Amino acid sequence: MATRNVLAFDFGASSGRAILGRFDGDKITLQETHRFANEPVQAQGRLQWDVLRLLHETRQGLAKSYAAAPYASFSIDTWGVDYGLLDARGRLLENPVHYRDGRTAHAIEEVCARIPRQALYARTGTQLINFNTLFQLTVAQNEQPQLLALADRLLFMPDLLAYFLTGEKYSEFSIASTSQLLSPGALQWNTGLLAQLGLPSRLLGPLVDAGARLGALTDETCELCGIPPAEYIACCAHDTASAVAAVPQPQGEALYISSGTWSLMGVERRTPLLTAPAAQANVTNEGGYGRSIRLLKNIAGLWLLQECRRQWRKEGQDLSFADMAQAALAAPAFARIIDPDDPCFMAPGNMPARIADYCSRHGMTPPQTIGETLRCVYESLAARYALTLGTLQELTGSRYPAIHIVGGGCQDRVLSQWTADACSLPVICGPVEATATGNLMVQLIALGELADLSQGREMVARSFAPVTYAPHPSSQWDEALARLAALQP
Ligand code: LFR
């Protein structure tokens, strides 16, 4: 069979990449054809995405990838919740605001004064996190009513970039499902909720499923890039949904951690779970491929490590992630534990200082060295995974035989081993490029190269050899879990 080439753009919170996939009918091979920084810009009191730079880099990626190998189609995935507003002529009205911007700090309380937490959860199935699009829009409505009045269409980040390139305005299901603007598990805007909150539903346009074939590059882009008009196919436009699509599931229902800036830990289901305990645990029901439900928990993942690294670099210490893992391994074990999900770690800033401050405030000796700080973060993350495992098992009534870790974070051997130890379960790592692979796989299904998701997952399993970690449970981990549980508010 002839090789079929497809192109994925995967935008993370700190970088973006173009990845060319070559499918030979059996396996897929990946080639990174373009990588670029995605640096948010603090301006006029707001942390903002430099969206035109991202558009420019996407075009570079389209051209460079075409030079590497002509591709049949391309697709885009990004992080969730953030959006741009277009006017009636389709012009972008302002830069999209970063979800870590502080403008939504009190938005949950404001909305929940009108709709109680439990009711909001039952009507959306979405975890209550202050950065959800629903809360961002509520703040925009209060602070910039003239902006919303001018706006004609809201597009989430991947849909916005696709619109710039193709001129087509759609909202893909998985990315829309991060917004808290959908009815639970449905391809349907929750217009009743929007009306109750005084938010304009007219901003919300047609919803499509992943796999929809949505047109081709505009003449403008073809000319600028010097390439013919490739087709745009919607993948699971939410990066986590693309990653989950690429979790190989050799033994049935799998528990996964999509490990990157965030660690998203969860399971795939057919229907949303909207029970009171689910609301209490604040797990989310996001959309996946084929209208599946990703029941998952957001855990502050490698963010803490990334921010520590950034701070130490500023101070003249340039550490690789491998150096950091080694430093953690060499430091004394179980000296202190933090809650990685504490709101004090959310915004960008001096993370080592915040960790030290957190330790002091909770009666622990602050870490004195880089190694001690890292050991604390690593152990706290593994312990948080283990507590979340317990929560998910309780909520679903299922026991899971293993944990699949996918994404860049699964290359961290120390974290993977400690996750196995803390959770007392085997950890199966890979693929590292799960998000891009899931993005490419959905294009191949839409093009008829693969029959369905299970064939796609078989292709993933054939293409990327997993790395497995056997658990070494210990009473020290049990104690660490108990200490973390006691820290929770
Ligand atoms: C991961 C991710 C998470 C989402 C967070 C913010 O990259 O997409 O799934 O909760 O970023 O959008």
Task: Convert the pLDDT of each residue in 238-265 to its tens digit.
Answer: 999 999 999 998 555 789 999 999 999 9
Ligand 1 closest atom vs CA 258: 1
**Mean per-residue pLDDT over the chain, rounded:** 97
pLDDT at 388 over 90: yes
Q: Which of helix, strand or coil describes residue 272?
A: coil
- Going by the DSSP 8-state scheme, the letter that residue 424 receives in this structure is T
Predicted TM-score of the model (pTM): 0.97
pLDDT at 363 over 80: yes
Residue indicated by tokens 């795939």: 268
pLDDT, average across residues 91-114: 97
Q: Residue 486: its pLDDT value, please?
A: 97
Q: Residue 489: its pLDDT value, please?
A: 60
Q: Residue 252: its pLDDT value, please?
A: 56
Question: How far is C-alpha 165 from the chain's CA centre?
Answer: 23
Among 240, 256, 263, 285, the mutation site with the greatest number of ligand 1 atoms within 8 A of its Cβ is 240
Ligand 1 closest atom vs CA 239: 8
Q: Residue 251: its pLDDT value, please?
A: 55
Contact between 359 and 398 under an 8 Å Cβ cutoff? The reply is: no
Q: Residue 402: its pLDDT value, please?
A: 95
Residues β-bridged to residue 320: none
Residue nearest to atom 11 of ligand 1 (CA): 79
Strand order in the sheet with 284-287: 284-287, 293-300, 262-269, 255-259, 403-406, 427-429, 467-469
Ligand 1 closest atom vs CA 13: 7
How far apart CA 327 and CA 55 sit, in angstroms, is: 38
Among 264, 295, 346, the mutation site with the greatest number of ligand 1 atoms within 8 A of its Cβ is 264
Q: Which residues are catalytic?
A: 239
Residue nearest to atom 7 of ligand 1 (CA): 79
pLDDT at 179 over 60: yes
Q: Which regions of the chain carry the CATH code 3.30.420.40?
A: 4-233, 247-430+451-489
pLDDT, average across residues 299-304: 96
Q: Tell me the residue length of the chain.
A: 489
Alpha helices in 318-452 (DSSP H): 321-330, 351-361, 370-396, 413-423, 434-446
Residue nearest to atom 10 of ligand 1 (CA): 80
ipTM: 0.98
pLDDT at 464 over 90: yes
How far apart CA 399 and CA 401 sit, in angstroms, is: 7
- Going by the DSSP 8-state scheme, the letter that residue 203 receives in this structure is G
Contact between 157 and 84 under an 8 Å Cβ cutoff? The reply is: yes
- Going by the DSSP 8-state scheme, the letter that residue 268 receives in this structure is E
Contact between 422 and 265 under an 8 Å Cβ cutoff? The reply is: no
* Pocket of ligand 1, beta carbon within 6 A: 79-81, 99, 238-240, 260-262, 264, 298
Q: Residue 488: its pLDDT value, please?
A: 63
Distance 262 CA to ligand 1 centre (A): 6
**Structure token digits, residue 310:** 């950034």
How far apart CA 440 and CA 437 sit, in angstroms, is: 5
Alpha helices in 104-232 (DSSP H): 107-112, 117-124, 133-143, 145-150, 157-166, 173-176, 191-196, 219-225
Alpha helices in 315-369 (DSSP H): 321-330, 351-361
How far apart CA 215 and CA 53 sit, in angstroms, is: 23
The pLDDT confidence band at residue 232, using thresholds 50, 70 and 90, is: very high
Ligand 1 closest atom vs CA 262: 1
pLDDT, average across residues 204-216: 97
Residue nearest to atom 4 of ligand 1 (CA): 80
Q: Residue 91: its pLDDT value, please?
A: 98
pLDDT, average across residues 458-466: 97
Q: Residue 253: its pLDDT value, please?
A: 72
Q: Residue 215: its pLDDT value, please?
A: 95
Question: CA angle at residue 159 from 134 to 226, to 5 degrees?
Answer: 155
Q: What is the CATH number of domain 4-233?
A: 3.30.420.40
Element (H, E) at 287: strand 284-287
The pLDDT confidence band at residue 387, using thresholds 50, 70 and 90, is: very high
Would you state the CATH architecture of domain 247-430+451-489? 2-Layer Sandwich (3.30)
pLDDT at 221 over 90: yes
**Structure token digits, residue 363:** 């009666």
